[in-house]
Amino acid sequence: MKKAIKEITYIQTGLFTKPSGFGELVYLQSKHFDENGQLVAELYTDLLAEGVSEKHVLKSGDVLFAAKGAKNFATVFEKHNQPSVASTSFFVLRLKSNQILPEYLAWFLNNPQTQMLLKGQARGTSIPSISKQVLENLEIAIPRIETQRTILEITKLRNVEKSLKQKIEALREKQIQQQIINAIK
């Protein structure tokens, strides 16, 4: 079954504000993530909760989609993260039902074919941006939950495999270089 993302999620933009450097909330920005949506920065509470609407405070399972700039990715906000709000670099997608896993939605948005489709519809010359309307109208195939879990497990295992291959290649390169150095001596 295929549905438009607007049928299965509530979509809102992140909060436009300036971090104060202290406070109770983390102000999540694209710079905190790599191109795969993995946190790469230490997070600190840098925003006062006073004056921030409850609707902007992220909930476990919210999917953040970085819609501005060259680095578009989706990631899932998890309950172990510090209380946070997303910056305007992100759209926050909150699921309407449990027929889709947030991790599956993030996987779909990060899929190379989806990324190519979205980037093809981005607007702006200096800072490309994917509009809310484009994201809302994007259609997603929604298989059964068991199938979604299987897709996520296969993806996780494939990423482990890629990582191990990179480590093996680095070790092999180091071994060959050491053999060359030993041969010279």
Q: Is the pLDDT reported for residue 18 higher than 90? A: no
The distance in angstroms from the start CA to the end CA of the chain is 66
Give this prediction's pTM. 0.85
Instruction: Report the SS3 class of residue 129.
Output: strand
- The string of pLDDT tens digits covering residues 50-67 is 888 888 999 999 999 999
pLDDT 10s digits, 117-141: 998 888 877 788 899 999 999 999 9
CATH number of 2-142: 3.90.220.20
Residue-level pLDDT at 123? 84
Between CA 137 and CA 148 the distance in angstroms is: 21
Please check whether residue 55 is in contact with residue 85, taking contact to mean a CB–CB distance below 8 angstroms. no
β partners of residue 68: 129
Please report the pLDDT score of residue 168 as a whole number. 95
Q: Band of the pLDDT at 7, cuts 50, 70, 90?
A: very high
**Contact (CB, 8 A) for 72 and 65:** yes
The predicted pLDDT at position 31 comes to 86
**Paired tokens of 30:** 């694209």
Has residue 36 got a pLDDT over 80?
no
Give the single-character DSSP code of 35.
T
pLDDT at site 46:
85
Q: Which pLDDT does position 17 carry in this prediction?
A: 87
Residue count (the chain) = 185
pLDDT at 51: 81
* Residue 19 in this model has a pLDDT that exceeds 90: no
Kindly report the CA angle at 112 between 110 and 114, in degrees rounded to 5? 70
- Nearest CA to 31 out of 47, 22, 43, 13 is that of 43
Taking alpha carbons only, the member of 36, 32, 31 closest to residue 163 is: 36
How far does Cα 40 stand from its chain's mean position? 12
Per-residue b or e along 98-108, where b marks 16 or more CB atoms closer than 10 Å to that residue's CB = eebbbbbbbbb
